[in-house]
């Protein structure tokens, strides 16, 4: 299975440097060696990919098409070397050729193709689909800049372009011969011919979608899958007559317009131009993908009538929802099917994963924008909407339900309802989340079509997020479980439970964690000049910055700890370091203020001698996959403190658990299932439950009452108003919590309602940490019971219950 020995890999790297860069290893730079390493592995994967595709076609296998506007792949060199089983050989070969392997790996930029959990999940699933030998392709946009690079300047987030493609393009295989043309705008003309009504779109603007393929290796298999990334190009060449007249900008206008589509992930959409660009991105990506799938299917089978038997399209969140009308367009306009036949095939081909209960993420598009930008798609959506509405009315005879379930209503197109109408399955991503979808968010749709609604709890790539990034722990697991069986059968981790009372094992586990903390402290010092104390509790909250994830609750507790230290310098005996990492969406003002507050507090504590070796707060700038890979093995406390009922699943919580960190959390998202396998005794639960949250809001929640009767809370909140040593006051956050602001109710996410319970949970955690044997036992149980959260399990559930495809 291993394609290289150390010697043959050295030869391949040397040859690649000469062929591609005209240099010997002695002359090559680290950047050139990084690219050469990528190209050598890419060659192996590309050859295997050709074989995989041939076999898929020959055996006419059903294929999975996973559509996601985000694929947060991180770095690929180490991962691909690991999956190809050549990581030790690559390290040795690089060392023999005079390079430091660690420097080469660290040089690779993260492929900036996502924003957070959604994109990271897609990357994990692609790895598992490949490892389980499911013929699958991921599809997204080849963003030039992707998610921004975060810089903290005077405590505030500044967004910089993240041009990852300079070195990252080494993984991409452009396939211009498979380009597709996508049309925007134009006018529709209808005519009868051959007994059919034909619709053609005239005078539309055409954009070329050029695929750049990233091959993905599975673990311990020759099977290779592809991530197809669409790049946008103008269809017409530059107008040379304009160029000759000196009208340079006008000459390149169309090219510039086309290329903005693939320029940046999620353009800000609080203005018309941003909304228009976002919708263009979504249709560009969907249309290119569906055309590509249909073309390949026709090449193999000569008809689209069996499309649903050989393809399943998984929509990851509502961003690719236009798959439904685009499939209908191709079946009707290009394959000449009638409506009923086209609809039957479409609704047997598409499945929808919902990732959130937040209203702002259940996308709605202005009808006027859809009409002008996508006239034919708008026509088809109108017909889908009318037929769906009639179906709902016939079933319920209730105008209120018709309004809630409508696809077009009040001048808006509701994408989640379109997905439900046009899909064969709808799934949530944790047990609690799926129940909320069935009983609340999509209650009426579930009442009408209960068979569509399923649950697949998220999972993570445990080979990457444990074995690859935490070699010390991997070594311990192999010793205790008798080999590497857990890499393909993650439930084998359960054997670790047998060692819960083995002091030698617990001490070894503690030593591994300590070494990981030392390694992270060295990394933090080297990369950002931060001095961390490896003997402190590493208490970590890293995730996207959103109010419902309640980073602000964490901050309020730290302020309370700081105030306790002011009153009594001996209040903290065990050093405690709070680590934050988060990017705020560029237009999300409150989230950006919370980042500034974290940095104000960090600065205050840093300059107060009372806090030395007792309390520290660090904001980790530009949090991303590669930083997470350094951080997860070193983390001891995992903060999963969202308002109950708001977090769909979470996957960071699973990575922490798998690396032995203990969770302080609410019963929300996958924390509920973690609690099912861990019990109260192996995590620190606190706070209101989802039903209690709803009850409190119905009753009428008044946070000022808590402020008035709780002196500790009052003093903590007053600190926001009074400000910090950097001169910044946070009156706006104070007002938001107590009185509401900008149309949001006071303390919308119930931070103050959960504040005391959270402080108590942190106190219980610190007391438990003092008993290291007990702590390490809890840590071992967390690792032992984390196997259920492997992506292999989740993908197998999709394969068995939704996609109906065989797997390894």
Query: What is the per-residue pLDDT across 455-485, written as a single tens digit (0 to 9) for each?
Result: 999 999 999 999 999 999 999 999 999 999 9
Pairing of strands 537-542, 576-581: parallel
426-452: pLDDT as tens digits: 999 999 999 999 999 999 999 999 999
Q: pLDDT (tens digit, 9 = 90+) per residue, 721-772?
A: 999 999 999 999 999 999 999 889 999 999 999 999 999 999 999 999 999 9
Q: What percent of the chain has pLDDT over 90?
A: 88
Mean pLDDT of 150-155: 96
Whole-angstrom distance, CA of residue 772 vs CA of residue 775? 5
**Structure-token pair, residue 534:** 């490896």
Token pair of 485 as six digits: 């069986």
Instruction: State whether residue 458 is helix, strand or coil.
Output: coil
Predicted pLDDT at 271: 67
Q: What is the mean pLDDT of residues 258-266?
A: 83
Which pLDDT belongs to residue 243? 60
- Measured CA to CA, the distance from residue 421 to residue 323 in angstroms comes to 12
Catalytic choice (346, 402, 651, 666): 651
Instruction: Give the number of other CB atoms < 10 A from CB of residue 98.
Output: 10
pLDDT of residue 774: 98
Q: What are 695's two structure tokens?
A: 């009850």
Average pLDDT over every residue of 541-570: 97
Q: What percent of the chain has pLDDT over 70?
A: 97
Q: Which tokens belong to 67?
A: 């559509």
Active site residue 495: no
Token pair for residue 609? 């001698």
The DSSP line for 750-778 is -HHHHHHHHHHHHHHHHHHHTSHHHHHHH
Q: What is the average pLDDT score of the chain?
A: 94
Q: Rounded distance, CA 472 to CA 460, Å?
A: 19
Distance CA 35, CA 169 (A): 9
542: alpha, beta or left? (left if phi > 0; alpha if psi -120 to 50): beta
Mean pLDDT, rounded, for 278-297: 97
Catalytic residue list contains 236 = no
The two three-digit tokens of residue 605, written as one number? 């504590």
Determine which one of 543, 546, 557, 583 is catalytic.
543
The rounded distance, in Å, linking the Cα atoms of 662 and 519 is 20
Yes or no: say if 363 and 416 are a contact pair by the CB < 8 Å rule.
Answer: yes
* DSSP-based three-state secondary structure for 798: helix
User: Alpha helices, DSSP H only, in 347-470?
Assistant: 367-373, 375-396, 399-405, 415-422, 431-436, 443-448, 462
In the predicted model, is pLDDT for residue 272 greater than 90?
no
Q: Quick check: is 355 catalytic?
A: yes
- Please say whether the beta carbons of 661 and 637 come within 8 A: yes
Nearest to 354 by CA among 297, 315, 398: 315
Active site residue 2: no
Which tokens go with 476?
């311990």
Torsion of CA 755, 761, 763, 768, to 10 degrees: -170
The size of the chain, in residues, is: 808
Average pLDDT over residues 509-522: 98
Tokens of 62: 């059903």
**Strand partners for 734:** none
- Give the model's pLDDT for residue 252: 64
- CA 96 to chain centroid, in Å, comes to 37
* Token pair 């080849």: residue: 142
Q: Which two tokens stand for residue 49?
A: 């990919």
* The pLDDT value given to residue 199: 87
Per-residue pLDDT tens over the stretch 593-638: 999 999 999 999 999 999 999 999 999 999 999 999 999 999 999 9
Given the residues 165, 414, 655, 785, select the one marked as catalytic.
Answer: 655
Q: Is the confidence at residue 303, as pLDDT, over 70? A: yes
C-alpha distances in Å from residue 646, one per residue of 44, 59, 528, 585, 670: 44, 44, 33, 18, 11
SS3 208: strand
Cα 327 to the center of its chain, rounded Å: 26
Cα(712)–Cα(552) distance, rounded to whole angstroms? 16
pLDDT of 269 reads: 62
Give residue 249's pLDDT band: very low, low, confident or very high (50, 70, 90): low
Token pair of 312 as six digits: 């399943």
93-111 pLDDT, tens per residue?
Answer: 999 999 999 999 999 999 9
Neighbouring C-beta atoms of residue 324, cutoff 10 Å: 31
pLDDT for residue 24 is more than 80: yes
Catalytic choice (42, 48, 544, 624) = 544
Helices (H) and strands (E) in the chain, counts: 35, 23
**Considering 183, 280, 319, 549, which one is annotated as catalytic?**
549
The DSSP letter of residue 460 is B
Residue 452: count of CB within 10 angstroms of its CB: 18
pLDDT at 251 over 60: no
- On the question of pLDDT at 76 being above 80, the answer is yes
Is 777 an active-site residue?
A: no
Catalytic residue among 79, 329, 355, 593: 355
Concerning whether 666 is annotated as a catalytic residue, the answer is no
Helix (H, G, I), strand (E, B) or coil at 412: strand
Q: Which residue has the tokens 């860069």?
A: 21
């Amino acid at each position: 299975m291993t394609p290289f020995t150390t010697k043959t890999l050295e030869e391949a790297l040397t040859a690649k440097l000469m062929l591609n860069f005209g240099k010997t290893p002695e002359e090559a730079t680290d950047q050139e060696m990084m690219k050469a390493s990528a190209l050598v592995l890419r060659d192996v994967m590309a050859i295997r990919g050709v074989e995989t595709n041939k076999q898929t076609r020959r055996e006419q296998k059903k294929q999975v098409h996973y559509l996601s506007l985000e694929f947060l792949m991180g770095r690929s060199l180490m991962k691909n070397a690991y999956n190809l089983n050549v990581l030790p050989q690559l390290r040795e070969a690089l060392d023999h050729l005079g390079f430091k392997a660690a420097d080469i790996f660290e040089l690779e930029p993260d492929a900036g193709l996502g924003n957070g959990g959604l994109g990271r999940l897609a990357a994990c699933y692609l790895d598992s689909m490949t490892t389980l030998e499911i013929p699958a392709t991921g599809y997204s946009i080849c963003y030039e800049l992707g998610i921004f690079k975060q810089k903290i300047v005077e405590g505030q987030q500044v967004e910089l372009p993240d041009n990852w493609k300079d070195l990252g393009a080494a993984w991409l295989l452009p396939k211009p011969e498979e380009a597709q043309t996508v049309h925007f705008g134009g006018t529709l003309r209808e005519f009868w011919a051959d007994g059919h009504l034909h619709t053609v779109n005239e005078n539309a603007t055409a954009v070329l979608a050029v695929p750049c393929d990233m091959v993905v290796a599975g673990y311990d298999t020759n099977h290779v899958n592809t991530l197809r990334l669409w790049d946008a190009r103008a269809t017409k060449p530059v107008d040379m007559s304009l160029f000759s007249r000196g009208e340079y900008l006008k000459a390149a206008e169309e090219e510039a317009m086309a290329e903005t589509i693939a320029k940046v992930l999620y353009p800000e959409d609080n203005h018309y131009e941003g909304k228009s660009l976002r919708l263009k991105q979504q249709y560009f990506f969907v249309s290119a993908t569906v055309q590509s799938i249909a073309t390949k299917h026709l090449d193999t089978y000569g008809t689209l009538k069996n499309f649903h038997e050989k393809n399943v399209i998984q929509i990851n969140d509502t961003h690719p929802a236009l798959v439904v009308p685009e499939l209908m367009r191709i079946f009707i306009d290009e394959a000449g099917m009638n409506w009923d036949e086209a609809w039957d095939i479409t609704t047997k081909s598409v499945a929808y994963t919902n990732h959130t209960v937040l209203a702002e993420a259940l996308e709605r598009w202005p009808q006027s924008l859809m009409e002008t930008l996508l006239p034919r798609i708008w026509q088809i959506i109108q017909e889908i909407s009318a037929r769906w509405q009639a179906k709902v009315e016939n079933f319920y005879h209730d105008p209120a339900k018709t309004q809630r379930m409508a696809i077009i209503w009040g001048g808006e197109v509701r994408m989640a309802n379109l997905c439900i109408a046009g899909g064969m399955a709808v799934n949530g991503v944790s047990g609690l989340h799926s129940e909320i979808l069935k009983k609340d968010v999509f209650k009426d749709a579930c009442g009408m079509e209960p068979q569509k609604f399923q649950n697949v709890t998220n999972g993570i790539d445990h080979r990457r997020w444990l074995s690859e990034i935490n070699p010390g722990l991997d070594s311990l697991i192999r010793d205790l479980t008798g080999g590497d069986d857990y890499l393909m059968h993650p439930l084998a981790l359960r054997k670790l439970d047998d060692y819960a009372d083995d002091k030698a094992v617990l001490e070894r586990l503690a030593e591994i964690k300590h070494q990981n903390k030392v390694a992270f402290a060295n990394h933090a010092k080297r990369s950002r000049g931060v001095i961390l104390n490896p003997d402190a509790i590493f208490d970590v909250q890293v995730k996207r910055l959103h109010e419902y994830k309640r980073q602000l609750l964490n901050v309020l507790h730290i302020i309370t700890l700081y105030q306790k230290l002011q009153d009594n310098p001996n209040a903290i005996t065990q050093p405690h370091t709070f680590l934050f990492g988060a990017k705020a969406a560029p237009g999300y003002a409150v989230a950006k203020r919370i980042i500034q507050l974290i940095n104000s507090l960090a600065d205050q504590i840093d300059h107060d001698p009372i806090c030395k070796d007792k309390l520290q707060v660090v904001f980790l700038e530009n949090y991303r996959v590669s930083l997470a890979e350094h951080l997860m093995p070193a983390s001891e406390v995992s903060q999963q403190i969202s308002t109950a009922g708001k977090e769909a699943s979470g996957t960071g919580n699973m990575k922490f658990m798998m690396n032995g960190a203990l969770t302080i959390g609410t019963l929300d998202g996958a924390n509920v299932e973690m609690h099912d396998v861990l019990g109260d005794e192996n995590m620190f639960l606190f706070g209101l439950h989802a039903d209690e949250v709803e009850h409190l809001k119905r009753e009428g929640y008044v946070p000022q009452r808590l402020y008035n009767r709780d002196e500790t809370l009052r003093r903590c909140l007053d600190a926001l108003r009074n400000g910090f040593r950097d001169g910044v006051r946070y009156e706006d956050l104070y007002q938001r919590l107590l009185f509401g602001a900008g149309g949001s109710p006071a303390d919308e996410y119930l931070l103050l309602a959960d504040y005391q319970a959270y402080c108590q949970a942190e106190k219980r955690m610190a007391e438990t940490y003092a008993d290291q044997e007990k702590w390490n036992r809890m840590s071992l149980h967390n690792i032992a019971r984390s196997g259920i959260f492997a992506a292999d399990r989740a993908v197998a559930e999709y394969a068995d219950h939704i996609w109906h495809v065989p797997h390894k």
